[in-house]
Structure 1
Amino acid sequence: MTGYLATAEVDIDAPATRVWTVLTDPAELKDLWFGADVETDWKVGNPITWSGEWEGKPFQDKGKILAVDPGRVLQFTHFSPLTGQPDVPENYHTLTYELTGSTHLTLTQDNNASEEEADHARGMWQSLLAKVKEAAES
């Protein structure tokens, strides 16, 4: 992993299989990803896209599935044109979900350009993990 890391963590009172469903089911993902439609087949090497509207602007983010180990690890790249950066590999983040223990979920985002950028991402991902927890425990 490169750049500054943003890490968010949460303990969830639900089985790993339920958490995994929340992380990968299209119906669950729309709420988690701030209203975006997430499209992918969750196969390593295949694309993932997020389409929606953010602060009144339509967007389509994109990435590629890097690792899928059901109930344990989910990893993919993510790029958003809303950053204003060029669509080149060095501007993609790698997002890694890791489920451990009974049931501890960690989300790590690499390639943040500064500690401030990492702090911003950490806050956003902590709110996403709170939604995962709420959905998995309900």
Structure 2
Amino acid sequence: METRFKIQYKTTVKAPLEKVWEALTNPAIVKEYFFGSELVTSWQVGTPIVFQGEWEGQSYQDKGEVLEYEPNKRLAFSYLSNWSGKEDLPENYLWVCYEVSPHGTDTELVIHQSNYDQERADHSAENWDSVVSGMKKIVES
């Protein structure tokens, strides 16, 4: 698994922790803010996780494996994007981790992700900003 070029995206969400966790793990909610992706997983450690759909007229299926799952605390998964151009080999998968913690009546969300190089890491940080902004609109309303 590729673990170099790590980024950390950190924000405060003005919503209770349980509501933020639900937005991160419920496929129906994820689809609303995550580029229309259909999330398919059981969240059982060792089982597959798939993000699939269509973007700008092209079908995609990003995949990985659930590595950690602690409800209302932390989850992690490996990740290989259809768009990466990388062969489906263990060393080409990235690492993604969501951590949530209470922050008064709000929730602190920290997303960690590895990447292939610094340019892609910078791009991932920008994407997380867009994705999380969409999630915030749903849970903060």
Q: Which bracket does the TM-score occupy, shorter chain normalised? A: over 0.9
Matched, 1:108 2:108: no
CA offset digits 1:35-62 (Å, max 9, x no partner): 1111111111111111111222111111
Q: Give matches, 1:43-122, under 5 Å.
A: 43-102=44-103, 103-110=107-114, 112-122=115-125
Unmatched runs of 5 consecutive residues or more in structure 2: none
Deviation at 1:101, TM superposition (A): 3.6
| 2:135 alignment partner in structure 1 | 132
**Is the CA contact (8 Å cut-off) linking 1:10 and 1:130 kept in structure 2?**
no
Identity of aligned residues (%): 39
The two structures have a TM-score, normalised by structure 2, of: 0.91
**Is the CA contact (8 Å cut-off) linking 1:8 and 1:129 kept in structure 2?**
no
Aligned AA for 1:52? Answer: G
Separation in 1, partners of 2:84, 2:52 = 15
Q: How many residues align?
A: 137
Aligned AA for 2:111? Answer: L
Deviation at 1:100, TM superposition (A): 2.2
**Is the CA contact (8 Å cut-off) linking 1:10 and 1:104 kept in structure 2?**
yes
Secondary structure of the residue aligned to 2:36 is coil
Secondary structure of the residue aligned to 2:49 is strand
Separation in 2, partners of 1:7, 1:129 = 13
Separation in 2, partners of 1:13, 1:82 = 33
The two structures have a TM-score, normalised by structure 1, of: 0.93
CA offset digits 1:80-131 (Å, max 9, x no partner): 1221111111111111001124111011111x22211110000001111112
Runs of 4+ in 1 over 2 A off after TM superposition: none
**Is the CA contact (8 Å cut-off) linking 2:17 and 2:102 kept in structure 1?**
no
Matched, 1:33 2:42: no
Separation in 2, partners of 1:24, 1:80 = 19
